Amino acid sequence: MANEDKEKGCLTNCLTTRRQFLSISGGAIATATILLSGIPGFGTKKVEAVVSKYPRQKIGKLSALKQDAPVSFAYPSKDINNMLVKLGVPAGGGIGPNMDVVAFNPVCTHMGGPLAKAYNAKHKILGQCPFHQSTFDLTRHGMIVCGHATESLPQIQLEVEGDDIYATGVIGLVFGRSSNI
């Protein structure tokens, strides 16, 4: 079986066995509905997500991004480093003309493994985690593809205004923290 087929098979198992997509986070909380569409075999599903809103912060420019070349930025506090990447394919929560610019906190939700340098451009995933091999799908809100983790990667909510990219909130909780700020 090809690697791509294995990953898709694993993604199917992860999606069908998970009870909860997103964890409850601290800070100002608002409930949002995320539509997961275009996933083979799943059609469109409505999933309730808990979102923490933080002050809007400019984090970059669309014109400065190169496809599959992640850049880091701090948000919502100076000690939380995240990853901004132009995937080249439309993604859940993506912004820009092609809805392909997304941002995530690259700390594994299992036991805090470092994922910032584990971007896989071919499959648009983050991983494998060097600790226990978890991988996360950046086109589907950071959902788990395979591995020990049970929670999606925290996704940074983005907005675009002209060429400027702003962070406005976080879906989920950064590993090891009781609050994202």
Rank residues 149 and 173 by Cβ distance to ligand FES and give the closer one. Answer: 149
Q: How far is the CB of 143 from ligand FES (least distance, A)?
A: 14
Among candidate residues 71, 31, 63, the one with its CA nearest the CA of residue 47: 31
Q: Which residues bind ligand FES (CB under 6 A)?
A: 108, 110-113, 129, 131-134, 147-149
Q: How far is the CB of 56 from ligand FES (least distance, A)?
A: 31
User: Which residues is 47 bridged to in the sheet?
Assistant: 34
Rank residues 18 and 45 by Cβ distance to ligand FES and give the closer one. Answer: 18
DSSP-derived pairing of the beta strands 164-171 and 155-161: antiparallel
Q: How far is the CB of 129 from ligand FES (least distance, A)?
A: 3
Q: Cβ distance 84 to 94 under 8 Å?
A: no
User: Which residues is 156 bridged to in the sheet?
Assistant: 170
Rank residues 145 and 170 by Cβ distance to ligand FES and give the closer one. Answer: 145
**Residue 110 annotated to the active site:** yes
Q: Cβ distance 170 to 25 under 8 Å?
A: yes
- Residues acting as catalytic residues: 110, 132
